[in-house]
Amino acid sequence: MKHRRTMTLAAVAALAISAAGIIPSHAEDEGIDKAKAAAFDVRMFTRPPGKKAYACFVRRYDPDHLARHPRQKVSAMKLLVTAEIPQDEEIREKVNYSFRLGLKYRQRSGDFDSSGACNHFVPVDRGDEIHLGCAVDCGGGGIEVAMSKDDKSAILRVERVRIWQNSKPDEEMSDALVGGADDKVFRLDRAEARECAALVTDRKELAELRRKR
């Protein structure tokens, strides 16, 4: 099992604060308007998330797109965002957010993935719109997720995020996707939750995900 998946979300969150420089805190969205955060969640999950909700976004780049972006390293990407209230909590403020990212390279074989904790934040250089900032533990960088104006796509930004090759799950086999000229911003289209099932390893959660639409 990959080292990062042995950690609790709380441990991931504590380490994520300093890991990516993206999010101020996971335990609380400090300085974030709760109504705006709730509105963002409805946009992300298409409804108030309740005790648990998933949002899946997928993009498979066709040859025409890749020809027009010759420096793009990624040929396919999936993003699964989860919002969950811990079983011992019943109040909205205790929602935990997390992400799982899967990708394929155009010139490397194999499947790669990453995961970590997320939090609402407002980018200082892009107005006052709320985004999700997500970070991988132990200095693994992270991603930033916004929604398109029509809420049909997620806009994913990358500076650097640690990834693992699925067939080589040891911690020392980790690599990184670094945002280059054509790999800094990705637009991923909303898909049914089961489209992101390959990103889930827990059998109980996988069964639940496959029931979602």
More confident residue, 78 or 10: 78
Pairing verdict, β 96-105 and 74-84: antiparallel
Residue 92: the pLDDT is: 53
Residue 143: the pLDDT is: 97
Q: Would the pLDDT of 136 be above 90?
A: yes
Average pLDDT of the chain is: 82
What percentage of the chain carries pLDDT values higher than 70? 79
DSSP sequence for the chain: --GGGGS-HHHHHHHHHHHSS--S-SSS-TT--HHHHHHHHHHHHSS--TTEEEEEEEEE--HHHHHH-TT--EEEEEEEEEEE--TT--SGGG-EEEEEEEEEESSS-S-EEEEEEEEEE--TTSTT--EEEEE-TTT-EEEEEEE-TTSSEEEEEEEEEEEEETTB-SGGG-EEEE--TTSSEEEEEEE-GGGGGGG---HHHHHHHHH--
Phi/psi of residue 156, nearest 5 degrees: -105, 125
Q: Would the pLDDT of 79 be above 50?
A: yes
Residue 26: the pLDDT is: 38
pTM, full prediction: 0.83
Residue 114 CA to residue 161 CA, distance in Å, equals: 8
* Interval 98-108 mean pLDDT: 95
Rg (the chain; Cα; Å): 16
More confident residue, 30 or 192: 192
Q: Would the pLDDT of 21 be above 60?
A: no
* Interval 51-55 mean pLDDT: 93
